[in-house]
Structure 1
Amino acid sequence: MMDSFEVTTENDERLTMGGIHRTNRTFMLFAVLMAVFVVPSSISGTAIALPFISVELQSDPASLQWVVNAFNLTFACFTLIWGKFADVFGRKRSFIAGALIYTLASIGSGLAPNILWLDIFRALAGIGGAAIFSCGSALFTQTFEGEQRTRVFALFGVTAGLGITFGPTVSGILLELWSWQAIFAMHAVVLTAVLVMSSNIPSDADEVGSVSQVDFPGAALFIAGMFLLMLAVSRGYEWGWLSLKTALAVLLGGVMFILFIVRVKRAVHPVLNLGLLRNHGFLGLILVPVVASFTFVTLLTYFPTYLTGMMQQSAATAGLMMLFLTLPVLVLPLIAGNLVSRGVRTTRLIFFSIVCMLLGIGLLGLLVELSVSLSWLAAALLLIGIGMGISAGLVDGEALSSVNADETGMAAGVLNTFRLGSEAVAVALYGAFISASLTRLVPEHLSQLKGGNDEAWIAGMASGNFTELLEQVNAREQAVLSHEMIAVYKMAFTTTNALLGSIAVIVSLLAMYCLRKGNRLVHCREALRR
């Protein structure tokens, strides 16, 4: 694939900014793509390790959720400001800083002595991951032009798809051969190689922007609001949904978001341009990733626990099973792009992708209720993956094309905020709903079989540790208890799936309405021009 970047010396000088040598560009390309592979593979692969982490670190469900939530939260929030950091401190410096943060966080994650430290290191990894994605794409924009830029961004997307696709499989194999710590060790090794190659990345220009261009107060308000919202969601079932702690977290989070809106309206360099949301076509498009968050992303994070827990599959089998969900994301973006180039309307493909995701999540809930085999579950996962794969290849380009040229940078920030922020909220809601359902069902259905200590059983079932829980009772009772545990977990899973699916339906209807309204406005403008 790299052969496509071989050009003559004359063309190389013409297509290279700042006299950058071809070898340096090749090293930069490899370095950025290696780092880009690690980030999504970490998101999709860490889910496989959650049951094993729970056993070794003796974590409660809420703390275990933050292994995923902490990464998603910081990734979502810091994507807003790393672009500004790249302008202020330089793209190379910012990319290397992000890769270094991620490397140290991965080492810390593997050595974490308890769940609190693991959550902290995962939050740091999210900060580094945001830098890798934001500053990596900025390096590509700075270094490549014309068709070469098109090719490298295609490689960027394909590499991210590879990370999502094979993250669960690679992690499952590492778990089978070694331990969950090996997953984070792999990330550290790959990123260390990235740091070594980064010395060949073209140096930043001496003149950079001003620190005043970074809206630190706005970013801080957004991060505080997101953290408080996710805290209320993830701890609500433990504190009580109507408790004072939950109410205060929601209230303070709401205040932070109100202050954030006030700030971005007044700031000279706001982190978000809320005026873009008045563009119906753009708003409809950026809601599509929100649908994916409540269907595809939540399953990517927690369905491996269902497979290893309720269905008693090995980590390697669960990783292979997840390929049915993730492989379409690797293949279909290119197919969707080809269809559009041949005249198929983008809106129709996006509507089709939404329908696939909704049908898939509904079918999955029905199949789980019927306790069918893995092959049937694979069909539902494949349908959701098809919907995600089609939309992933269309939404970004179409959304950025629907705004003015001088607003594309800010529009990209808004799009990624909706995408990553909704992922963080959806994953937190999934964990909260499953834990709340188990909190209600375990005392009702299992108390007579297992004895006391409901909290330990709720925590164990939420993290998928069925085998360890069964070892606590005598062999004669294990068969009966196992049957009841599976029934309880199935009820909790289907309830959670139905709640998240309902949210996805509501967002889908809003997205389709905005897209239709946006299309009508476009047609009206074209008619007036004629």
Structure 2
Amino acid sequence: MSNPKALPCGEVAIRSSPSVPGCAEVKSWVLAVAVLGSTLAFIDESVVNVALPKIESDLRTTLAAMQWVINAYTLCMSALLLVGGAAADRFGRRLIFVIGVSIFAAASLGCGLAANAEVLIAARVVQGVGAALLIPCSLALIGAAFEEKERGAAIGVWSGASAIAAGAAPLLGGWLVDHWSWRVIFLINPLLAIPTLSITLSRVPESRDPDAPSGIDWPGAVLAFAGLASLVYGLIAASDLGWSDAAVVGSVTAGALLLGGFVLAEGRSRSPMMPLELFRSRVFSGVNLLTLLLYGALGGAFFFYPFLLIQARGYSAAAAGAAYLPFTLVMGVLARWGGGLVDRFGARWPLIVGPALTALGFVLLGSGAGPLSAIVLPMSVLALGMAITVAPLTTTVMNAVPAHRTGVASGINNAVASVGSLLLIAVLGTVALGAFNRSLERHLEGSAASPAVIEAVHAARGGFVIPPMPASLSDEERRRVRSIIADSLSTTVRTMLWIAAALALASAVSAALTIPGAERPARAPARA
């Protein structure tokens, strides 16, 4: 969980027994492949945000397009993640892993070569499909190759290596953006995929789950994807077309109906990707509501924060990447400590205190300007809150369901986290653009600005970056335009961080209302 964008239940133990004869001889290769595969996805998730301002400027596009650069990936991954895990169990974990890595690498090449925002977004869609296949397979390969007594240590190595990669990614990615190009952060992925595929095909044996359901819930996957896509399209389009526009109303309505159809389909399916009976547990429903709110807040805040650092405060992309290091380091150092909180205090208080501290971290992030060193405290507070939250959250998810449903429960919780980020980026993007445009107008009202300055300021509308300055502007006029846009950006992002803080507090309230106190929540009875 050192990766800001990592999923909450990404490190749960896979409860499958080794199913490959002689797998002890290839355990090290399996572990290496799992690390390389998850690193592909984790690096990509954590580094793209730092590059967003540069991508928007280079492609001369809008904030809405940048929302889609993030959400196209998250949409496909969240809608297909459970299907990817089911396909791996049925058709073979190595096979699905190889397909996932291959798709991800090819799509990354498309991202790196994209000539415009539309091509980049399309490539990100395909990347999300690849991620939905490779992410569940990474841990499933470990679960199949390692005995239960060895699995904890193997997952610890996987977790530590992934944390190091995810922690270094924003800093390295920022440096590449500053000194090379944002395209390089995507073009690195095919280079990592080559040894990953080579080792997998030559050293990793195939494994399957003999008890896997015979069918895959394709209707559920299609309805989930279509519903989320329609809903997100309407939310993002509202920033440009307005909430009363027929296309926006129609898209949001269609999304709601499709998601309603998804719920009905899951209730009737023989092998649903999201078994609805799990939500009869008050604890399971409550902890997933907490996940939706908290990870939505985290995704929305980290989407906007690089714009504040790079565009408003003048940081380089590398410096913006370095701003995330305190978060990564504190999370890494406190991960083991956080894991023991449930045994000492139960889940209730960590799931109240952790999100509350996270909310404080969001508020501190948006308070005032300052040098890079001034970010250490806010990021550390934010990381402390998440470190207190993550392990109790995962434990609560696992304990709220019967032992034989823990894999499904963790998959649902991961999908909920992704959907939270997906929806909040869409909603906050629309809110932010409206606030940003209004702030620009307030600065111009009664300012006696020249027509050239007014035109230059208006050129920033719809985007979230400082646009190129016309050659006709004087140095003083350029400074004034930059000051107006930077101040509007700062005000807007600060508001978004406060909204994120409110959502984090709401997640703490959901824990207070739904998570039992004192004792750790008892595991639901196992299947007879």
The two structures have a TM-score, normalised by structure 1, of 0.88
SS at 1:516's partner residue?
coil
CA distance in 2, matches of 1:426, 1:58: 24
Assess if the C-alpha contact under 8 Å between 1:41 and 1:163 holds in 2.
yes
CA distance in 2, matches of 1:338, 1:186: 37
Gaps of 5+ in 1: 1-14
Q: Which moved more, 1:228-237 or 1:111-120?
A: 228-237
Aligned to 1:478: 478
SS at 1:19's partner residue?
coil
Describe the shift of the 1:297–1:489 C-alpha distance in structure 2 as closer, same or farther (beyond 3 A): same
Describe the shift of the 1:207–1:87 C-alpha distance in structure 2 as closer, same or farther (beyond 3 A): closer
Assess if the C-alpha contact under 8 Å between 1:105 and 1:125 holds in 2.
yes
Assess if the C-alpha contact under 8 Å between 1:357 and 1:383 holds in 2.
yes
CA distance in 1, matches of 2:210, 2:48: 37
Aligned to 1:358: 359
CA distance in 2, matches of 1:313, 1:83: 40
Assess if the C-alpha contact under 8 Å between 1:354 and 1:508 holds in 2.
yes
CA distance in 1, matches of 2:79, 2:161: 23
Aligned to 1:295: 297
CA distance in 2, matches of 1:304, 1:200: 41
Task: Please list the CA deviations of residues 62-91 of structure 1 after superposition, one character each: whole Å capped at 9, or x if unmatched.
Answer: 112211111111111111200111123211
CA distance in 1, matches of 2:521, 2:192: 48
- Pick from 209, 214, 217: which aligns with 1:215? 217
Aligned to 2:4: none
1:229 matched to 2:231? The reply is yes
- Pick from 41, 44, 48: which aligns with 1:42? 44
Aligned to 1:435: 433
Aligned to 1:458: 461
Assess if the C-alpha contact under 8 Å between 2:346 and 2:519 holds in 1.
no
Aligned to 1:7: none
CA distance in 2, matches of 1:213, 1:514: 34
1:349 matched to 2:356? The reply is no
Aligned to 1:184: 186
SS at 1:379's partner residue?
helix
Assess if the C-alpha contact under 8 Å between 1:92 and 1:201 holds in 2.
no
SS at 1:213's partner residue?
coil
1:504 matched to 2:507? The reply is no
Aligned to 1:413: 411
Aligned to 2:373: 375
Q: Which moved more, 1:118-127 or 1:15-24?
A: 15-24
Identity %, equivalent residues: 23
SS at 2:516's partner residue?
helix
Letter in 1 for 2:485: M
Describe the shift of the 1:473–1:201 C-alpha distance in structure 2 as closer, same or farther (beyond 3 A): farther
Assess if the C-alpha contact under 8 Å between 2:176 and 2:185 holds in 1.
yes
Q: How does 1:24-43 map to 2 (within 5 A)?
A: 24-43=26-45
SS at 2:20's partner residue?
helix
Measured after TM superposition, the shift of residue 203 of structure 1 is: 3.3
Q: How does 1:276-287 map to 2 (within 5 A)?
A: 276-287=278-289
Q: How does 1:75-154 map to 2 (within 5 A)?
A: 75-154=77-156
Assess if the C-alpha contact under 8 Å between 1:20 and 1:202 holds in 2.
no
Measured after TM superposition, the shift of residue 340 of structure 1 is: 4.5
- Shift >6 Å, 4+ stretches: 206-211, 517-521
Aligned to 2:490: 490
Q: Which moved more, 1:84-93 or 1:260-269?
A: 84-93
Normalized per residue, the structure richer in helix is 1
CA distance in 1, matches of 2:23, 2:274: 36
CA distance in 2, matches of 1:505, 1:362: 11
Measured after TM superposition, the shift of residue 517 of structure 1 is: 7.4
Describe the shift of the 1:328–1:206 C-alpha distance in structure 2 as closer, same or farther (beyond 3 A): closer
Gaps of 5+ in 2: 1-16
Q: Which moved more, 1:257-266 or 1:327-336?
A: 327-336
RMSD: 2.7
Q: Give the number of equivalent residue pairs.
A: 504
Q: Which moved more, 1:248-257 or 1:173-182?
A: 173-182
The two structures have a TM-score, normalised by structure 2, of 0.88
CA distance in 1, matches of 2:294, 2:492: 21
Letter in 2 for 1:375: S
Measured after TM superposition, the shift of residue 519 of structure 1 is: 6.2
Task: Please list the CA deviations of residues 337-356 of structure 1 after superposition, one character each: whole Å capped at 9, or x if unmatched.
Answer: 24545x34333223221111
Aligned to 2:206: 204
Q: Which moved more, 1:198-207 or 1:125-134?
A: 198-207
SS at 1:203's partner residue?
coil
CA distance in 1, matches of 2:393, 2:301: 21
Describe the shift of the 1:465–1:155 C-alpha distance in structure 2 as closer, same or farther (beyond 3 A): farther
Assess if the C-alpha contact under 8 Å between 1:44 and 1:301 holds in 2.
no
